[in-house]
């Protein structure tokens, strides 16, 4: 099988497509690249764009990716697609938002980290659950 | 008839509760199936990611990423994945216990702790015990998107990249089966490279586009993100499983209660009838 190459396209949320092709075109960051079988190992970032897979039957498959990574290793092309548009400033904004919410939540924080208290509390809660289960087992038999 | 009416009302009210818990059980069961499906769908990405990172670890890399370097531990980060809603038995409590044990171990070594809370329950709990929460992601719903988590994760990853934390862990429930969930602590950073694959063990390196540093940075970040995302999807399947079990036992409990009350009610009713007959007989005899 020297003249085909295996292609796996996956995103964080699901497996998008997997199959064989004779040629793959992908929107790499430095420009579109074409990958034929026996390509050298390659690792690149993808821009938002279209991935084209030419199949041996002459059919073409199209996939849209909003960015991600592409790896070529031996006879396998792996596309790790992003599901969302990723840009440094967008990520930054999301991070700041997550931090802001956390700070807001901590606004009325009381004092230092009290792990001992937390442990005691959890023990109590777990004991309550166990007790309820025991009671239930008893009640069930009665 | 002593308390007959009261008992009947009580039975009615318990029956209503039972209807609700039964419905919740069924909803949780169907949601669990869907959550399991999502968990399964997220797996190929993480698997592929893992193999690419493993390849990368074997390539004679010209650039070593900070995510793979071990450092002295002065401050650790914990990402704690909990549920948004309650009524799921001891799921969160067991998880928090595990997390608190780990935290107190670090605390006893005078290591400071940062926490990222995913899920409202975790946020509430760790806030209450006074943990230093650096970021949070809550109200993710039943089908979380990676986008919802990016912000919260970036805070931790940046902190590691800039050397503010020296270890990063994720705490989430592992889905063993619908009936059983196990809290689990996983080390995310620094990344432990897997055992080298023998057949790939030669001197080679990838071609990088645009250059090694940028590509590896992006890849490492996505790798960690995919691990966390997988933890979150798995935790949701756990939540649904735990809720299903909790609601089933609540429905069963309601059933037992109803049976007992029914017995009491019947006895009371019988006693009342007997008494009435006795009274009538007594009255007739007196005439």
Per-residue pLDDT reduced to its tens digit, A96-114: 888 888 887 777 665 667 7
Q: How far apart are CA B287 and CA B284, in angstroms?
A: 5
pLDDT for B200 beyond 60: no
Q: What is the mean pLDDT of residues B178-185?
A: 92
B150 within 8 A of B224, measured Cβ to Cβ: no
Min Cα distance A128 → chain B (Å) is: 10
According to the model, what pLDDT value does residue A115 have? Answer: 75
The answer to whether B209 contacts A15, with C-beta atoms less than 8 Å apart, is no
- Which CATH topology does A5-87 take? ATP Synthase; domain 1 (2.60.15)
Min Cα distance B123 → chain A (Å) is: 8
The answer to which of B20-34, B43-57, B270-284 has the lowest mean pLDDT is B43-57
DSSP state of A58: S
Q: What is the mean pLDDT of residues A112-135?
A: 78
Min Cα distance A52 → chain B (Å) is: 19
According to the model, what pLDDT value does residue A84 have? Answer: 61
ipTM of the prediction greater than 0.90, yes or no:
no
Give which of B202, B215, B221 to mutate to test A binding, by max A Cβ within 10 Å. B215
Residue B86 touches chain A, beta carbons under 8 Å: no
pLDDT for A29 beyond 50: yes
Better-scored residue on pLDDT, B5 or B2: B5
**Chain B residue numbers touching A128 (CB-CB < 8 A):** none
**Which residues numbered 188-217 in B keep a CB inside 8 Å of some CB on A?**
204-210, 214-216
The pLDDT-based confidence of B146 (bands split at 50, 70, 90) is confident
The answer to whether B94 contacts A94, with C-beta atoms less than 8 Å apart, is no
According to the model, what pLDDT value does residue A50 have? Answer: 87
pLDDT for A138 beyond 60: yes
pLDDT for B220 beyond 90: no
B183 within 8 A of B98, measured Cβ to Cβ: yes
Please write the tens of the pLDDT for every residue from A39-92: 888 889 888 888 899 988 888 888 888 888 899 987 889 998 887 666 677 788
Q: How far apart are CA A75 and CA A72, in angstroms?
A: 7
**Pairing relationship of beta strands B180-189 and B167-177 according to DSSP bridges:** antiparallel
- Show me where the domains of chain A are located: 5-87, 90-137
Better-scored residue on pLDDT, B159 or B58: B159
Q: Which of A102, A54, A130, A42 is nearest to B77 (CA)?
A: A102
For the residues of chain B, what is the DSSP string, one character each? -TTHHHHHHHHHHHHHHHHHHHHHHHHHHHHHHHHHHHHHHHHHHHHHHHHHHHHHHHS--SS--GGG-----SEEEEEEE--SS--STTHHHHHHHHHHHHHHHHHHTT-EEEEEEESHHHHHHHHHTT-EEEEEE----SS--HHHHHHHHHHHHHHHHTTS-SEEEEEEEEEEETTEEEEEEEEEESPPPPPPPGGG-SS---EEES-HHHHHHHHHHHHHHHHHHHHHHHHHHHHHHHHHHHHHHHHHHHHHHHHHHHHHHHHHHHHHHHHHHHHHHHHHHH-
According to the model, what pLDDT value does residue B184 have? Answer: 93
Give which of A100, A107, A118 to mutate to test B binding, by max B Cβ within 10 Å. A118
Q: What is the mean pLDDT of residues B70-95?
A: 92
Residue B219 touches chain A, beta carbons under 8 Å: yes
The answer to whether A115 contacts B107, with C-beta atoms less than 8 Å apart, is yes
Q: What is the mean pLDDT of residues B17-43?
A: 93
A118 within 8 A of B129, measured Cβ to Cβ: yes
pLDDT for A141 beyond 50: no
* Average predicted confidence (pLDDT) for chain B: 88
**Of B131, B207, B253, Cβ closest to residue A41:** B207
Please write the tens of the pLDDT for every residue from B53-79: 877 777 756 677 778 778 889 999 999
According to the model, what pLDDT value does residue B48 have? Answer: 86
**Pairing relationship of beta strands B75-81 and B112-118 according to DSSP bridges:** parallel
**Chain B residue numbers touching A134 (CB-CB < 8 A):** none
Q: How far apart are CA B29 and CA B23, in angstroms?
A: 10
Question: CA nearest A140 in B: which residue?
Answer: B256
**Chain A residue numbers touching B117 (CB-CB < 8 A):** 102
Residue B145 touches chain A, beta carbons under 8 Å: yes
Highest mean pLDDT among A24-28, B53-57, B194-198: A24-28
**Which residues numbered 221-260 in B keep a CB inside 8 Å of some CB on A?**
222, 225-226, 229, 249, 252-253, 256
Q: At B142, list the tokens.
A: 């039943």
Question: CA nearest A80 in B: which residue?
Answer: B45
Min Cα distance B134 → chain A (Å) is: 6
Q: How far apart are CA B147 and CA A84, in angstroms?
A: 7
Min Cα distance A90 → chain B (Å) is: 9
Better-scored residue on pLDDT, A85 or B173: B173
Q: Which residues contact A22 (CB under 8 A, 6 or more apart)?
A: A3, A4, A5, A36, A37, A54, A55, A56
Q: What is the mean pLDDT of residues B186-202?
A: 69
**Of A96, A116, A129, Cβ closest to residue B90:** A129
pLDDT for B30 beyond 90: yes
pLDDT for B41 beyond 60: yes
Please write the tens of the pLDDT for every residue from B103-142: 999 999 999 999 999 999 999 999 888 888 999 999 888 8
Q: What is the mean pLDDT of residues B6-31?
A: 95
The size of the A-B interface in CB pairs under 8 A is: 189
**Chain A residue numbers touching B146 (CB-CB < 8 A):** 12-13, 82-84
């Amino acid at each position: 099988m020297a003249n085909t190459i295996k292609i796996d396209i996956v995103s964080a949320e699901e497996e998008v497509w997997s199959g064989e092709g004779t040629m793959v075109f992908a929107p790499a960051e430095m420009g579109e690249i074409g990958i034929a079988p026996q390509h050298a190992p390659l690792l690149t970032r993808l821009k938002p764009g279209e991935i084209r897979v030419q199949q041996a039957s002459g059919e073409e498959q199209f996939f849209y990716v909003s960015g991600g990574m592409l790896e070529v290793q031996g006879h396998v092309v792996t596309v790790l697609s992003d599901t969302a548009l990723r840009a440094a400033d967008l990520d930054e904004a999301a991070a700041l938002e997550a931090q802001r919410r956390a700070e807001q939540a901590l606004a009325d924080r009381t004092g230092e980290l009290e792990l001992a208290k937390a442990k005691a509390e959890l023990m109590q809660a777990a004991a309550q659950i166990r007790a309820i289960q025991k009671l239930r087992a008893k009640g069930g038999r009665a | 008839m002593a308390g007959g009416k009261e008992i009947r009302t009580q039975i009615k009210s318990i029956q209503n509760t039972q209807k609700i818990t039964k419905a919740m059980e069924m909803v949780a069961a169907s949601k669990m199936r869907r959550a399991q499906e999502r968990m399964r769908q997220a797996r190929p990405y993480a698997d592929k990611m893992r193999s690419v990172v493993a390849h990368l670890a074997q390539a004679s890399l010209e650039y070593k990423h900070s995510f793979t370097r071990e450092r002295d531990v002065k401050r650790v980060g914990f990402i704690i994945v909990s549920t948004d809603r309650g009524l799921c038995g001891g799921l969160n409590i067991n998880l928090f216990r595990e997390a608190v044990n780990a935290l107190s171990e670090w605390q006893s070594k005078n290591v400071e702790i940062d926490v990222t809370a995913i899920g409202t329950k975790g946020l509430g709990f760790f806030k209450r015990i006074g943990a230093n929460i650096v970021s949070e992601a809550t109200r993710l719903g039943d089908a979380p998107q990676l986008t919802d988590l990016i912000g919260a994760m970036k805070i931790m990853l940046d902190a590691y990249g800039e050397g503010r934390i020296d270890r990063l862990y994720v705490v989430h429930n592992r889905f063993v089966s619908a009936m059983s969930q196990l809290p689990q602590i996983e080390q995310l950073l620094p990344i432990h490279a897997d055992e080298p694959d023998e057949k790939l063990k030669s001197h080679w390196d990838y071609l990088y586009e645009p250059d090694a540093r940028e590509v590896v940075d992006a890849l490492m970040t996505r790798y960690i993100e995919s691990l966390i995302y997988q933890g979150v999807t798995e935790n949701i399947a756990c939540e649904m499983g735990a809720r299903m079990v909790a609601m089933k036992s609540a429905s069963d409990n309601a059933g037992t209660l109803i049976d007992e009350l029914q017995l009491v009610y019947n006895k009371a009713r019988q006693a009342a009838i007997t008494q009435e007959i006795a009274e009538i007989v007594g009255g007739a005899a007196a005439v």
